[in-house]
Structure 1
């Protein structure tokens, strides 16, 4: 009986140790995807409208990497989102796409973008006929 109890305790100990390690690994994965408080987020919104087009492949493979490359070490990460639905059923899609840059410093972002503004805008017709709306915000959480 004691042997069975010891065996069960060893199995349970191993199980809970493995479970704790997996839980800690998951927490680390989640933290790696969290954006730091205080970062600046530059969001570029491409509103949906009849007759407007958007080439996601070009945006993902050419335009966003091009702009990201201009930002240098100020860039923490960038994201690309493809609109798929409105939050309200049977209503038009609000945005075809949203691109976001997370940067450490707004002045450094502006200094990198300003001399390249014309080149960035000249790239727009290669992937869209939409005039984007830009929102600069601070990450609070």
Structure 2
């Protein structure tokens, strides 16, 4: 399982429309990138105001999903002016 985390940093003047992100933006992500599942974290304390996690069954599925990310990337200015950091991880089963 591959996890892609998109982390939006908290700062002096963060702008982030969580309602738009969780409804409109994630619908685009789900439709175009087709992750197995996704989840959103709303930061309460710490360096990130929000984190979106996308899960893919394999590296190939993630790469295919990233190939369809154009519409989702173009939508980012609709919910934030904040840049993001991306972490790609392999889930380690216990």
TM-score normalized with structure 2 length: 0.88
Q: Considering only CA atoms, is the larger Rg found in Structure 1 or Structure 2?
A: 1
Distance 2:79 2:62 in 1: 23
SS at match of 2:30: helix
Unpaired segments ≥5 residues, structure 2: none
Select between 58-67 and 104-113 the one with higher mean Cα deviation: 104-113
- Aligned counterpart for 2:4 among listed residues 42, 55, 60: 42
State how 1:1-141 maps to structure 2 within 5 Å: 39-72=1-34, 75-86=35-46, 94-117=47-70, 119-141=71-93
Distance in 2, matches of 1:65 and 1:136, equals 21
Instruction: Compare the two structures and name the one with the higher helix fraction.
Output: 1
How many pairs does the alignment contain? 93
**Structure 1: which 5+ runs fail to align?**
1-38, 87-93
TM-align CA RMSD: 1.4
> Which structure's residues are more often strand, by fraction?
2
